[in-house]
């Protein structure tokens, strides 16, 4: 690929896929339900606002991270800039979030492996075993190198986009513009934004991967900033 598009394009694409792959997750499945009270117009306002705020937050983390060495974690950043108290608080917060995410993805990944084995070979291993298989495969990919995560993210993201378009293709023809824009008298209420904001912000959450991008791409602020913009736009 680098002989066709150049190494810079390959680095930007890989970093963008890592950002988009981290941002896009199960939390987005809750958006239709949490958006019901706001309807279409307020949902789009909140989505654009959430994307912009989370993008700017990641760029702020990038700016701080560039003052440290590649490989330094969020713990090091917080420890050296805000002190021990905030470092401990940040550590517990990150550990809690990452624990819930790992639990959710290992559980769902094990279910995918279980259904795949059942449909392919007619065997139904226990969920614990399939979750363990999924964890070992994913861990091996992450342990191998950041470039392996880069390549796998690009492949899976391409498959996700294709399946997403196929799944919504049949519904696009049934969409009614007058209903979406509230021209038929059915419109949402602004007050529901306060209940949905946390779900929207979580759907654009990828900031723990910024130190990993610097470790992978080096202190190339221009390239990493492009990855943040492109990756979040893909998620948007």
Per-residue model confidence (pLDDT) at position 27: 72
Per-residue model confidence (pLDDT) at position 58: 95
Position 228 in a domain: yes
Q: Report how far Cα 30 is from the mean position of its chain's Cα atoms.
A: 14
What's the CA gap between 166 and 226, in Å, rounded? 28
In 3-state terms, what secondary structure has residue 189? Answer: coil
Q: What is the pLDDT of residues 78-96, one digit of tens each?
A: 999 989 899 999 889 888 8
Please count the structural domains in the chain.
Answer: 1
Per-residue model confidence (pLDDT) at position 5: 55
Position 112 in a domain: yes
Q: What is the pLDDT of residues 43-88, one digit of tens each?
A: 999 999 999 999 999 999 999 999 998 888 888 889 999 898 999 9
Q: How far is CA 79 from CA 16, 75, 76, 106, 212, in A?
A: 28, 6, 5, 30, 18
- φ, ψ (nearest 5 deg) of residue 228: -65, -45
Instruction: Confirm if 56 and 210 have CB atoms less than 8 A apart.
Output: no
Per-residue model confidence (pLDDT) at position 11: 85
Position 199 in a domain: no
Position 122 in a domain: yes
Tell me how crowded residue 20 is: count the other CB atoms within 10 A of its CB: 23
Position 28 in a domain: yes
Position 188 in a domain: no
Q: Would the CA dihedral through 61, 154, 27, 143 be positive or negative?
A: negative
Range of the domain at 64: 2-162+205-235
Per-residue model confidence (pLDDT) at position 3: 45
């Amino acid at each position: 690929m680098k002989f066709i598009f150049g190494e810079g394009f390959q680095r930007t694409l890989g970093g963008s896929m890592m950002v988009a792959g981290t941002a896009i997750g199960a939390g987005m499945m809750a958006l239709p339900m949490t958006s019901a009270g706001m309807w279409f117009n307020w949902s789009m306002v909140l989505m654009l606002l959430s994307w912009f705020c989370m993008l700017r937050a990641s760029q702020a983390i990038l700016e701080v991270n560039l003052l440290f060495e590649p490989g330094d974690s969020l713990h090091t950043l917080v420890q050296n800039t805000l002190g021990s108290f905030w470092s401990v608080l940040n550590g517990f917060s990150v550990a809690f979030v990452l624990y819930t995410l790992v639990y959710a993805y290992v559980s769902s990944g094990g279910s995918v492996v279980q259904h795949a084995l059942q449909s392919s070979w007619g065997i139904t291993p226990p969920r614990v075993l399939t979750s363990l298989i999924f964890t070992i495969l994913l861990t091996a990919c992450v342990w191998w190198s950041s470039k392996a995560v880069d390549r796998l993210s690009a492949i899976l993201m391409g498959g996700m986009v294709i399946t997403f378009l196929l799944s919504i293709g049949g519904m696009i023809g049934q969409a009614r513009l007058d209903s979406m824009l509230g021209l038929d008298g059915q419109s949402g209420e602004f007050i529901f934004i306060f209940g949905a904001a946390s779900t929207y912000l979580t759907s654009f959450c990828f900031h723990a991967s910024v130190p990993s991008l610097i470790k992978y791409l080096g202190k190339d602020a221009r390239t990493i900033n492009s990855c943040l913009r492109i990756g979040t736009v893909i998620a948007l």
